[in-house]
Amino acid sequence: MNGGAGAAGTTVAKGSSQAGGRHRDDRLHKALPTLVGIASVIGFFLVAELLIQFGVLNRFIIPPPSQILGSFGRVITEEHVFSRFLLTATECLTAGVMITVIGVAVGVAMHRFKLFQQACETWAAALASAPMVLCYPLFLVIFGRSAWTMIIMGFVSGLPPVILKTIEGMAGIRKVLINVGRSFNLTRSQQFWKIQFPAALPSIFIGVRLGLIFALINIVGTEFLINFGGLGQLIEDLAERYDLPGTYAAVCFVILVSILFFMALEKAERWLIRAD
């Protein structure tokens, strides 16, 4: 009897240790891509460091990663990087909200009214591939040396991909899903919010991601060109002073803005899909 209980106990213990092992394996499996990603970045910097230290790469053109790392403290304390970071992030957020709201609305309207789509889709596509940053003097004249110049630059350059991917997403909705909605007697508004919008969301989010990339590039580029505002201006200042480690450290903060926005977008996409 005792032996049986003991055996059962051992089996349970074995079972729970096996389950624990599986759980650890699952966690490791999930974390592996992140770990490999981090390791590849560290590996890249190590290789760059070695190539610079051994004179293969010119340290006066590309500063060693160790120097860039060392300059972070100085950039943070002396160059007011956080306020600049906040300014660039706010400009990017404002432009991002504008391209999402207006871009999705225009894309849906263009899909709904075929004449509008046939008349304007080519213009949107042409605008998407145009180097909009060259239009900065126009917006500088209209909005002056203010954050709005950067926001509008970001908006104009980020809008076309959102419009185009929204049209693509709406056009790609399977007819059977629309018919399911019709069979349940959905109103036009229900048909849009319950079926069309969630079905088109993956494509819309690709557009918003692309739009944000274009917006961020143009915002930082314009800050750099007109020497005003956030991180772009800081990069320009540091480059002018030939402070290369500081310049690259400031670039890292631009990358940080991008990462934060992409993380927020991923969360928003999951939330929207769940909220349907």
Separation between Cα atoms, residue 276 and residue 208, nearest integer Å: 19
241 near another protein, judged by CB under 8 A = no
> What does the per-residue mask of binding to another protein show for 212-231, with x meaning CB under 8 A?
--------------------
Separation between Cα atoms, residue 127 and residue 130, nearest integer Å: 5
Binds another protein by CB under 8 A, chosen from 198, 213, 252, 258? 198
Binds another protein by CB under 8 A, chosen from 81, 87, 195, 238? 195
Separation between Cα atoms, residue 73 and residue 199, nearest integer Å: 46
Binds another protein by CB under 8 A, chosen from 135, 177, 213, 252? 177
* Residue closer to another protein, measured from CB, 10 or 190: 190
Binds another protein by CB under 8 A, chosen from 39, 179, 227, 241? 179
Burial of 125 (0-12, 13-18, 19+ CB in 10 A): middle
* Residue closer to another protein, measured from CB, 186 or 265: 186
189 near another protein, judged by CB under 8 A = no
Binds another protein by CB under 8 A, chosen from 190, 240, 255, 263? 190
Selected range binding another protein among 55-63, 122-130, 195-203, 235-243, rule: CB under 8 A = 195-203
265 near another protein, judged by CB under 8 A = no
Selected range binding another protein among 27-35, 137-145, 186-194, 226-234, rule: CB under 8 A = 186-194
Binds another protein by CB under 8 A, chosen from 58, 83, 185, 189? 185
186 near another protein, judged by CB under 8 A = yes
Strands (E), 66-202: none
Separation between Cα atoms, residue 63 and residue 22, nearest integer Å: 45
Strands (E), 21-136: none
Separation between Cα atoms, residue 13 and residue 7, nearest integer Å: 10
3-class SS string, 109-145? HHHHCHHHHHHHHHHHHHHHHCCHHHHHHHHHHHHCC
Separation between Cα atoms, residue 141 and residue 80, nearest integer Å: 28
Number of residues that bind another protein (CB under 8 A): 18
